[in-house]
């Protein structure tokens, strides 16, 4: 098919002075099909070479005459035969055991089939690839690598180790996997939106505490020296100065009666300036976070692991193979925390499930679903209302190394060049874009302002913990003071006169 073989055949009754030029090709040498001889020109001594200008190799060889090619595809279901493939893959949309990009590449293969006039006998595989200990290749990749199929109604990742085994004829499907979930106040708080320590980093909090401690020491030393120098000065205790600093930090001001000495005035002015900057910045960050639209929620695999989300995965082979064979630490951690714990007897979705089953849980909130995201968007658009769609969030998925799916044939296939040209022409006239629009559903657009969520306990838990801690500490100090006073009184009454 790819070779340019021309045979000069003598014309009978011309004493071998006139020749016919024949284009020699076959539409399936590996299938033991006939060799075709098509006359496209003549040669004679008087006129020379005369070519039929209407002859086109591409069109002449492009009609396969109804030949049956060997095909392979992926349907992860039981009791599916090759005769069922056309009925199953011809309907757009997500179905159990079938990923959307398989249906998309099946549609592209139909363009080739109709254009070149051939039929396909399908062989159904349950997965894309795999390898036994003996080295035997599994899945569609193994079928194509062994030249057991001529075409494949699926796309594959063209990894580096596959370039020597397959020819790419087209690339247009971008594989985007990720976690889909609905944002809730709990997720916003889990991501740090309700943490009152979040506006400042650890180093800032430590520096602030050390600075306030230094201010208390300076005020106490200054007050003690002034008390010893001037008789009308007050000698306050350490606790009094700590209360003054804490009150000033809380925007409660400083005592109305302060020393007229410039040293203490400068110290108090520095404290007020520090509080002005720190307090205003802190409150602006906290209030801005509370008044803004619902937070982004978890955005990475690490944040998904740390969140309270219950995670499910598309019931398809590549997820199970990933968890079985991966050595990536964060994926192993995700598996141990989110996948391995048993869910039997609980009102929870299965770990591996389909889109129709998981969407009601996604609408409820608190659940995440990992899949190729376009597979879930259509069902979400049907089930979610306008406010729910505005609260829909996505996070990075587990398959981010390669994005572009490849439509491939076995290496050095006799159909590679012709199918590649046909796919370019199909793309030029817009059929590829139209097919993408049908099969690749985009994320629903937010057309509402979203809900205003009330602040939950998670959002103010830090303040309550600080309050409770202060009350407990005050109670402990109260008993300590009582015991100290009691011991002091006993010592006085028990001492000799």
pLDDT tens digit at each of 497 positions of the chain: 556 677 777 777 666 678 888 888 788 777 777 777 788 888 888 778 888 887 777 777 888 888 999 999 999 888 899 999 999 999 888 888 899 999 999 999 999 999 999 999 999 998 888 778 887 888 888 999 898 999 999 998 877 777 778 899 999 999 999 999 998 877 765 555 455 666 777 888 888 888 888 888 887 887 777 777 776 667 777 877 788 888 877 777 676 666 666 677 777 778 788 888 887 887 777 676 666 555 678 889 999 999 999 999 999 888 888 888 888 899 999 999 999 888 887 788 999 999 999 999 999 989 999 999 999 998 998 999 888 888 899 999 898 766 789 999 998 888 999 999 999 999 999 999 999 999 999 998 887 765 555 666 666 676 777 778 878 887 887 788 788 888 887 777 665 54
What are 419's two structure tokens? 């199918």
Bridge partners of 417, per DSSP, are none
Task: Kindly state whether residue 305 falls inside one of the protein's structural domains.
Answer: yes
| 310 and 353 housed in the same domain | yes
| 187 and 315 housed in the same domain | yes
What separation in angstroms does the CA of 385 have from each of 201, 363, 446?
Answer: 39, 9, 10
pLDDT at 433: 95
Largest Cα separation within the chain, whole Å, is: 155
| 250 and 166 housed in the same domain | no
| 235 and 278 housed in the same domain | yes
Burial 8-22 (b: 16+ CB within 10 A, else e): eeeeeeeeeebbebb
Q: What span, in angstroms and rounded, lies between the C-alpha atoms of 407 and 394?
A: 27
* Residue where a domain terminates, one of 235, 269, 291: 291
Q: Are strands 405-410 and 156-157 parallel, antiparallel or unpaired?
A: antiparallel
Task: Kindly state whether residue 222 falls inside one of the protein's structural domains.
Answer: yes
| 182 and 129 housed in the same domain | no
Q: What span, in angstroms and rounded, lies between the C-alpha atoms of 272 and 266?
A: 10
3-state secondary structure at position 316: coil
Its domain, for residue 47, covers 5-62
Task: Kindly state whether residue 255 falls inside one of the protein's structural domains.
Answer: yes
| 120 and 21 housed in the same domain | no
Task: Kindly state whether residue 47 falls inside one of the protein's structural domains.
Answer: yes
| 303 and 376 housed in the same domain | yes
| 71 and 58 housed in the same domain | no
* Residue where a domain terminates, one of 18, 46, 62: 62
| 49 and 125 housed in the same domain | no
| 36 and 131 housed in the same domain | no
3-state secondary structure at position 231: coil
pLDDT at 132: 80
pLDDT at 46: 79
- Which residue, among 6, 114, 7, has the nearest Cα to 62 in the 3D structure? 114
Q: What span, in angstroms and rounded, lies between the C-alpha atoms of 186 and 190?
A: 6
Contacts of 204 (CB under 8 A, 6+ apart): none
DSSP 8-state assignment for residue 339:
I
| 301 and 379 housed in the same domain | yes
Task: Kindly state whether residue 113 falls inside one of the protein's structural domains.
Answer: yes
What are 409's two structure tokens? 């044939």
Task: Kindly state whether residue 463 falls inside one of the protein's structural domains.
Answer: no
What separation in angstroms does the CA of 18 have from each of 14, 106, 358, 443, 493?
Answer: 6, 48, 74, 67, 143
| 45 and 74 housed in the same domain | no
Q: What span, in angstroms and rounded, lies between the C-alpha atoms of 162 and 151?
A: 16
Q: What span, in angstroms and rounded, lies between the C-alpha atoms of 98 and 281?
A: 52
Which domain CATH number covers 285?
1.10.287
Task: Kindly state whether residue 473 falls inside one of the protein's structural domains.
Answer: no
Which domain CATH number covers 185?
3.40.190.10
Q: What span, in angstroms and rounded, lies between the C-alpha atoms of 40 and 24?
A: 10
Place of tokens 């996997």: 177
* Residue where a domain terminates, one of 434, 450, 483: 434
Q: Is the CB of residue 234 less than 8 Å from the CB of residue 259?
A: yes
Contacts of 105 (CB under 8 A, 6+ apart): 152, 153, 154, 155, 173, 405, 407
State the pTM of this model.
Answer: 0.71
Q: How many domains does the chain have?
A: 4
pLDDT at 185: 74
3-state secondary structure at position 209: helix
Task: Kindly state whether residue 243 falls inside one of the protein's structural domains.
Answer: yes
Q: Is the CB of residue 150 less than 8 Å from the CB of residue 410?
A: yes
pLDDT at 497: 47
- Which residue, among 293, 208, 295, 192, has the nearest Cα to 246 in the 3D structure? 208
- Which residue, among 249, 254, 251, 212, has the nearest Cα to 236 in the 3D structure? 254
pLDDT at 434: 95
pLDDT at 195: 59
- Which residue, among 299, 319, 324, 322, has the nearest Cα to 309 in the 3D structure? 299
| Ramachandran bin of 185, using left for φ above 0, alpha for ψ from -120 to 50, beta for the remaining angles | alpha
Angle, helix 202-229 to helix 238-249, in steps of 10 degrees: 130
């Amino acid at each position: 098919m790819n070779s340019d073989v021309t045979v000069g055949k003598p014309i009978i009754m011309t004493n071998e002075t006139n020749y016919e030029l024949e284009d020699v090709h076959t539409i399936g040498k590996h299938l033991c099909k006939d060799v075709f001889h098509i006359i496209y020109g003549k040669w004679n001594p008087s006129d020379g070479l005369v070519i039929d200008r209407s002859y086109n190799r591409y069109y002449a060889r492009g009609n396969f005459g109804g030949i049956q090619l060997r095909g392979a595809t992926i349907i992860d279901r039981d009791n599916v035969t090759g005769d069922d493939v056309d009925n199953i893959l011809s309907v757009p949309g997500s179905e159990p055991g079938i990923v959307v990009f398989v249906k998309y590449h099946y549609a592209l293969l139909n363009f080739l089939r109709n254009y070149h006039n051939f039929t396909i006998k399908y062989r159904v595989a349950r997965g894309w690839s795999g390898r036994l200990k003996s080295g035997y290749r599994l899945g569609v990749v193994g079928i194509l690598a062994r030249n057991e199929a001529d075409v494949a109604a699926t796309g594959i990742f063209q990894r580096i180790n596959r370039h020597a085994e397959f020819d790419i004829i087209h690339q247009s499907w971008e594989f985007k996997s990720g976690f889909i979930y609905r944002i809730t106040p709990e997720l916003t708080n889990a991501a740090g939106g309700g943490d009152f320590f979040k506006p400042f980093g650890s180093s800032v909090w430590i520096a602030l505490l050390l600075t306030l401690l230094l201010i208390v020491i300076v005020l106490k030393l200054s007050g003690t020296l002034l008390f010893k120098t001037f008789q009308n000065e007050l000698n306050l205790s350490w606790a009094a100065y700590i209360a003054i600093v804490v009150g000033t930090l809380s925007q409660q001001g400083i005592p109305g009666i302060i020393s007229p000495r410039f040293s203490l005035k400068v110290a108090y002015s520095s404290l007020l300036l520090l509080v002005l900057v720190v307090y205003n910045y802190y409150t602006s960050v906290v209030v801005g976070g509370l008044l803004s639209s619902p937070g982004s929620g978890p955005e990475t695999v690490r944040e998904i692991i740390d969140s309270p989300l219950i995670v499910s995965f598309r019931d398809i082979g590549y997820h199970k193979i990933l968890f079985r064979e991966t050595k990536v630490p964060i994926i192993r951690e995700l598996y141990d925390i989110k996948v391995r714990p048993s869910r039997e007897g609980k009102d929870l979705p299965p770990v591996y499930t389909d889109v129709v089953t998981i969407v009601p849980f996604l609408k409820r909130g608190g659940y995440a679903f990992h899949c190729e995201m376009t597979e879930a968007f259509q069902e979400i658009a049907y089930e979610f209302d306008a406010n729910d769609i505005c609260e829909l969030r996505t996070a990075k998925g587990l398959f981010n190394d390669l994005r572009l799916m490849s439509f491939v044939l076995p290496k050095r296939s006799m159909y590679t060049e012709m199918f590649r040209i046909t796919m370019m022409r199909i793309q030029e006239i817009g059929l590829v874009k139209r097919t993408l629009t049908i099969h690749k559903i985009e994320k629903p657009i937010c057309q509402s302002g979203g809900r205003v969520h009330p602040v939950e306990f998670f959002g103010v838990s830090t303040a309550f913990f600080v309050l409770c801690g202060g009350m407990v500490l005050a109670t402990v100090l109260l008993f300590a003071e009582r015991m100290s006073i009691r011991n002091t009184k006993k010592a006085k009454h028990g001492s000799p006169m």
